[in-house]
Amino acid sequence: MSQATLHTPTVRTTCPYCAVQCTFDLHLDRGLPVKVTPTKDCPVAHGTVCRKGLAALNDLRHPDRLTTPLLRKNGDLTPVGWDEALAYVRDALGSVPPERTGVFGSGSLTNEKTYLLGKFARVALRTPHIDYNGRYCMASASAALNRTVGYDRGLGFPADDLVRSDLVLLVGANVAETLPPLMQYLKGVKDRGGTIYAIDPRATTTSRVAGRHLAPKPGTDGLLALGLLHLMKQWGRIRPTAPAHGMAQVLAHADDYPPARVAHDCGLSEADVFALGRAYAEARTSLILTGRGPEQHIQGTDTVQAWLNLAFLTGHFGKVGGGYGPLTGQGNGQGGREHGQKNDQLPGARSLRDPRHRAEIAALWDVPERDLPQPGHSAQELLNACGQPGAGGLDALIVLGSNPAVSAAGTGQVTQNLKALKHLIVIDFLPSETAGLATLVLPGSMWCEEEGTTTNLEGRVQRRRRAVTPPGAAREDWRILCDLAAALGRPHGFTYPDFRALQDEFFRATRGARADYSGLSAERLDRATAQWPVRSAAGPDTPHVYAPPFPTPDGLATLHVPQLRAPASAPRALHLTTGRLAGQYQSGTQTRRNPALKAEQTVQIHPDTAREHGLGAGDLVTLRTAHGQATAPVALSPGLRRDTVFISFHWPESANLLTDPDALDPHSRMPGFKVTPVTLHPARLTLPVPTAPLLSPVS
Ligand code: SF4
């Protein structure tokens, strides 16, 4: 591996975007990165990257880059020095009770920043209210895995195992467009004679490569899993991975889901359900991979649970090449949900409710255990509480590396709430829509301006290395958090002499926890990446984690009966579903500005549905839901279900104006991004957009 110091011609680091975390070399010219080269020894991508990664350098010195603090004066964000900015923090947050202050983090933060943000909230601010945008991403899969096997490491196996599957079910996972390097594994499955099903209301590039496509109604994936379990039971294919609690109840419940009912509820043919069942029953190793499709629902946890139950009860879970795995989305979506920025969590995936866990971390942080807050608001509840009077309401919010004014559910309401705050402090490197509402913006660091580690979608920890320093008066995010603690008069525990001291404390903080990184160091990671847990410096890492005994009180898994129903509909309404486009990332703060990733918002509609509504390609259509309305040009998409409309969530004033900010999954607290009743209304103008949708249709 190449050397990783400043001023060397190349620096090896990881991509700022998705959870594959491709490694590449940054080539420097006079101190600035000028080119990205994929590295063949990247453990997942093996020398491939996608166009987002190749274009990532365009953001680095973008003219919009934030390079100085901005304080709102007379209504305008005005450049100020750090002393004035930090004095504002001292006065503003000093005047707000801790329980009326919130913190909102991100699944794109490094592990070290995730750790420090959680510590900052609980020790410096002393608030219970910290959560992050990963609540909108992986939370349902995470909740299902944690309550079943006591672990959530995303894929519990190395990506290389994927090619050993005989059957892969991609449930709501558009891999070709969101995690492109994984397609090499899926092609490997097909080359070996294996079968791939894409289960998605939309035909996508992924379904075209898979070759088999089932398009259930949005929100019914879990019912399909129940139907498959029904068939496996009927055909004598129940062979549990290990003894577990709840098996009898789950199997009895599956009796209520015969193929005819499932086909009706899912909008599929009975023959399709049987064919999928036969493929699953006959495969030696069957692997179920979920994306955000089945997870971003108000019954997302139980939907994932239904697929997890199927994998477990048929003996595929834990088998090499088989089982179940969620495909993490954000760059550090995995590490970001392990180290303490969740509302109920302490580092190492410890629980804030567990007295032993609280005592361990209180000792490390040198604070009395009683001073650690109890769990506070989850992400959407936190945003819903902003600017609200009375108990539970918030007057101040600190946002680090996130853009909830675009990515939260119900952004109309969320934006009003953010505006109603007395103090909104945003730390970011580009002016997001959330930063545009702030009372103070602090210029932070981008991916190749800071050291740290990230954890990819297979639980693999890798180093992110610094190639350049932040421009102008921008500072590394970890230093900003320490500056804020000092401004609040609580510097104890935030006076690291350098980044390495913070990183070593972070590794130590995970010792003995489920997500144990304590055997890691920068030097070890320079020699090789490692999949957690890594319990000692001399000990091995853990490529395969999902095996009994599980880290539960008695070592057994617990299966839960999924409580699922077909999503509500309304007269004349279609199903609105939201998702990603290949060249864009999250709320688009970076990618919408990137000239190499240029794209436009469209509403994808089946041609027959468009015709029924008097719409043609390029016509402006207004989408109306119970929560708001948004207008965009029509793109005809023959690969979409006729009863479904798709819009991507990368643009402001768009997809999330239409989603519900109040209904949440009872376990994961996930809003229902993937299905909302919607009506279509032609708008007046017609714009010259091409008829081809941004996502390739498949006939
Ligand atoms: Fe790799 Fe994902 Fe970055 Fe693309 S966006 S280069 S797949 S890490």
- Other C-beta atoms closer than 10 Å to the C-beta of 47 total 15
% of the chain surpassing 70 pLDDT: 97
Instruction: Tell me how far the alpha carbon of residue 304 lies from the centroid of ligand 1, in angstroms.
Output: 25
Instruction: Tell me how far the alpha carbon of residue 287 lies from the centroid of ligand 1, in angstroms.
Output: 23
Asked if pLDDT for residue 233 goes beyond 80, the answer is yes
What is the mean pLDDT of the segment spanning 505-527? 97
Instruction: Report the residue among 44, 46, 48, 50 best suited for mutation to probe ligand 1: largest number of ligand atoms under 8 A from its CB.
Output: 50
Instruction: Report the residue among 12, 52, 454 best suited for mutation to probe ligand 1: largest number of ligand atoms under 8 A from its CB.
Output: 52
Instruction: Tell me how far the alpha carbon of residue 630 lies from the centroid of ligand 1, in angstroms.
Output: 30
HEC letters along 431-457: CCCCHHHCCEEEECCCHHHCCEEEECC
Q: How does residue 8 score in pLDDT terms, banded at 50, 70 and 90?
A: low
231: left (phi > 0), else alpha (psi -120 to 50), else beta?
Answer: alpha
Percent helix, percent strand, percent coil in the chain, to nearest 5: 35, 20, 45
Instruction: Tell me how far the alpha carbon of residue 452 lies from the centroid of ligand 1, in angstroms.
Output: 18
Structure tokens that stand for 439 in this block = 């009372």
Q: Which atom of ligand 1 is nearest to the CA of 18?
A: 2
pLDDT value of position 690 = 41
Instruction: Tell me how far the alpha carbon of residue 261 lies from the centroid of ligand 1, in angstroms.
Output: 40
Instruction: Tell me how far the alpha carbon of residue 18 lies from the centroid of ligand 1, in angstroms.
Output: 5
Is residue 677 reached through a cis peptide bond, with omega within 30 degrees of 0 on the bond before it? no
- Could you give the residue ranges of the DSSP H alpha helices within 521-679? 522-527, 607-612
- Enumerate residues 6+ apart whose C-beta is below 8 A from 631: 620, 621, 622, 623, 683
Phi, psi (degrees; rounded to nearest 5) at 302? -70, -30
Q: Which atom of ligand 1 is nearest to the CA of 331?
A: 8
Distance, in Å, from the CA atom of 562 to the CA atom of 557, rounded to the nearest integer, reads 15
Asked if pLDDT for residue 695 goes beyond 80, the answer is no
Instruction: Report the residue among 20, 328, 457, 585 best suited for mutation to probe ligand 1: largest number of ligand atoms under 8 A from its CB.
Output: 20
% of the chain surpassing 90 pLDDT: 92
Instruction: Tell me how far the alpha carbon of residue 239 lies from the centroid of ligand 1, in angstroms.
Output: 37
What is the mean pLDDT of the segment spanning 313-342? 95
Q: How does residue 693 score in pLDDT terms, banded at 50, 70 and 90?
A: very low
Asked if pLDDT for residue 17 goes beyond 60, the answer is yes
Instruction: Tell me how far the alpha carbon of residue 10 lies from the centroid of ligand 1, in angstroms.
Output: 19
Q: Which atom of ligand 1 is nearest to the CA of 21?
A: 8
pLDDT tens by residue, 290-310: 999 899 999 999 999 999 999
Protein residue whose Cα sits closest to atom 3 of ligand 1: 53
Distance, in Å, from the CA atom of 27 to the CA atom of 164, rounded to the nearest integer, reads 36
More confident site: 695 or 472 = 472
SS3 of residue 162 by DSSP: helix
Instruction: Tell me how far the alpha carbon of residue 47 lies from the centroid of ligand 1, in angstroms.
Output: 11
More confident site: 363 or 695 = 363
pLDDT tens by residue, 604-649: 999 999 999 999 999 999 999 999 999 999 999 999 999 999 999 9
How, if at all, do strands 195-199 and 167-171 pair?
Answer: parallel
pLDDT tens by residue, 653-670: 899 999 999 999 999 999
Asked if pLDDT for residue 6 goes beyond 70, the answer is no
Distance, in Å, from the CA atom of 497 to the CA atom of 515, rounded to the nearest integer, reads 26
pLDDT value of position 60 = 85
What is the mean pLDDT of the segment spanning 378-397? 97
Protein residue whose Cα sits closest to atom 4 of ligand 1: 50
More confident site: 200 or 330 = 200
Secondary structure (DSSP) of 30-75: TTEEEEEEE-TT-TTTTT---HHHHTGGGGTT-TT---S-EEEETT
Q: Which atom of ligand 1 is nearest to the CA of 181?
A: 7
Protein residue whose Cα sits closest to atom 6 of ligand 1: 53
Distance, in Å, from the CA atom of 597 to the CA atom of 51, rounded to the nearest integer, reads 8
pLDDT value of position 698 = 25
- Could you give the residue ranges of the DSSP H alpha helices within 202-354? 205-210, 221-234, 247-254, 259-266, 270-282, 292-295, 300-313
Instruction: Report the residue among 24, 179, 458 best suited for mutation to probe ligand 1: largest number of ligand atoms under 8 A from its CB.
Output: 179
SS3 of residue 288 by DSSP: strand
Distance, in Å, from the CA atom of 474 to the CA atom of 443, rounded to the nearest integer, reads 5
pLDDT value of position 699 = 22
- pLDDT averaged over every residue in the chain: 94
Instruction: Tell me how far the alpha carbon of residue 179 lies from the centroid of ligand 1, in angstroms.
Output: 7
Instruction: Tell me how far the alpha carbon of residue 38 lies from the centroid of ligand 1, in angstroms.
Output: 10
Asked if pLDDT for residue 688 goes beyond 80, the answer is no
pLDDT value of position 685 = 57
Instruction: Tell me how far the alpha carbon of residue 16 lies from the centroid of ligand 1, in angstroms.
Output: 8
Instruction: Tell me how far the alpha carbon of residue 198 lies from the centroid of ligand 1, in angstroms.
Output: 21
Protein residue whose Cα sits closest to atom 2 of ligand 1: 18
Residues touching ligand 1 (Cβ under 6 Å) are 15, 17-18, 20-22, 45, 49-50, 52-53, 179-181
Asked if pLDDT for residue 686 goes beyond 60, the answer is no
Q: Which atom of ligand 1 is nearest to the CA of 50?
A: 4
Instruction: Tell me how far the alpha carbon of residue 53 lies from the centroid of ligand 1, in angstroms.
Output: 5
Protein residue whose Cα sits closest to atom 1 of ligand 1: 22
Instruction: Report the residue among 13, 14, 15, 48 best suited for mutation to probe ligand 1: largest number of ligand atoms under 8 A from its CB.
Output: 15
Closest-CA residue to 380 (of 135, 649, 626)? 135
Structure tokens that stand for 440 in this block = 């103070």
Q: Which atom of ligand 1 is nearest to the CA of 54?
A: 6
Q: Which atom of ligand 1 is nearest to the CA of 51?
A: 4
Instruction: Tell me how far the alpha carbon of residue 645 lies from the centroid of ligand 1, in angstroms.
Output: 27
Distance, in Å, from the CA atom of 493 to the CA atom of 501, rounded to the nearest integer, reads 11
Distance, in Å, from the CA atom of 49 to the CA atom of 426, rounded to the nearest integer, reads 31
SS3 of residue 463 by DSSP: strand
Instruction: Report the residue among 13, 21, 22, 174 best suited for mutation to probe ligand 1: largest number of ligand atoms under 8 A from its CB.
Output: 22
Instruction: Tell me how far the alpha carbon of residue 54 lies from the centroid of ligand 1, in angstroms.
Output: 8
What is the mean pLDDT of the segment spanning 471-484? 98
Q: Which atom of ligand 1 is nearest to the CA of 45?
A: 1
Q: How does residue 567 score in pLDDT terms, banded at 50, 70 and 90?
A: confident
Distance, in Å, from the CA atom of 420 to the CA atom of 481, rounded to the nearest integer, reads 24
Asked if pLDDT for residue 50 goes beyond 70, the answer is yes
pLDDT value of position 568 = 77
> Cα–Cα distances in Å, from 301 out to 221, 267, 468?
12, 22, 41
Q: Which atom of ligand 1 is nearest to the CA of 49?
A: 6
pLDDT value of position 508 = 98
Q: Is the dihedral of CA 56, 62, 68, 72 positive or negative?
A: negative
Phi, psi (degrees; rounded to nearest 5) at 297? -135, 160
